[in-house]
Amino acid sequence: MKIVILGAEARYRAYQPAMPFIQQQELVFLDKDSTEAEILAASADAEVLFVDAITVVSAALMEHMPCLRLIHSEGVAFDRIDLSAARERGIYVCNNKGCNAGAVAEQTVLLILMLLRHALEGDEAVRAGRQMEMKERCMVEGITELSACKVGLVGFGDIARAAAERLVPFGCELYYYTKRRRLPEEEKKYHVTYLPLEELAEKSDIVSLHCAVTEETRNLVDAALLRRMKPTAYLINTARGDLVDNEALRQALLEGRIAGAGLDTLSPEPVPAGHPLTALPPEVQRKVVLAPHLGGITEASFRRAHAHMWRNVEHLAAGERPDNIVNGL
């Protein structure tokens, strides 16, 4: 079986599970930014395509790969794959649902604590010899403990549930919003209370995004939703940058309509120089903690993800259905 891997060979080799099945396959490694022409020139006859979670896979590419049977995201996201085109051609699209839930939940807590404790500004102050100046100011203005916060989780899949499990011990009051309300037993298990999105935005001290990008959720955090948030509230995004209207968030930060933001993901990705949420005045920049989309890329997450991907290829080769099919086949 010919398998095209759009990603760094060193990474795939490092996390490759010990499966004799893999040694029997033909692996073709290409850069994740390869053009469609380059992919087709190297492997138009491939049966499997492994892609980075932010790689575009178009209907045109599928049309010119007649043997393609499986497209597998290396991560959880799959919104840049043309799902309907794959479904029409009988191509499975799969993801690694849940493989990085704990890792991303840790990143969520990290960003929250960095904002509440003014970590970036504090580091800067100590290095500049202004430790006591900042300490005195914080004692007057006050530092909010996480235990005193109401945290609203937007979406309630694997990552949001893992975040809830980590936030409960801090003593937070937890809300959640999702299109389909969960059963009372699940709400009780995770100590969460359901709220409509607008009410969650109004009540929460921290609004944390944990939903997939769809046409319905793209730019979910827009000017209207930001206006509902408290001026003392923070926005956390460890999901996808496309959930946030960049200009709306920029204006809310510039005008002091929210206290700050912790962002592990931005749109577009890769993030260009001069992005609206990176090119901020110094006094606003201190209120924003940025990370280079590191939330889910722990060693353990990659080992789980790669083991699952290769098991799915093995299922396919055996004439069985793969797991975590996301395009309705």
Which residues are annotated as catalytic? 240, 269, 293
Please check whether residue 175 is in contact with residue 153, taking contact to mean a CB–CB distance below 8 angstroms. yes
CA distance 53 to 77: 5
**Cα Rg for the chain, rounded, in angstroms?**
22
C-alpha span between 298 and 100 (Å, rounded)? 8
Distance CA 187, CA 193 (A): 6
Asked whether the beta carbons of 34 and 281 are under 8 A apart, the reply is no
Interior angle at CA 239, CA 35 and CA 248, nearest 5: 95
C-alpha to C-alpha distance for 145 and 96, rounded to whole angstroms: 34
Angle between the 119-127 and 131-141 helix axes, to the nearest 10 degrees? 150
- How far is Cα 57 from Cα 32, in angstroms, rounded to an integer? 11
| Short-list 60, 63, 8, 90, CA closest to 297 | 8
Burial 239-275 (b: 16+ CB within 10 A, else e): bbbbbbbbebbbebbeeebbbbbbbbbbbeeebeeeb
Q: Which residues contact 283 (CB under 8 A, 6 or more apart)?
A: none
Question: Is residue 138 helix, strand or coil?
Answer: helix
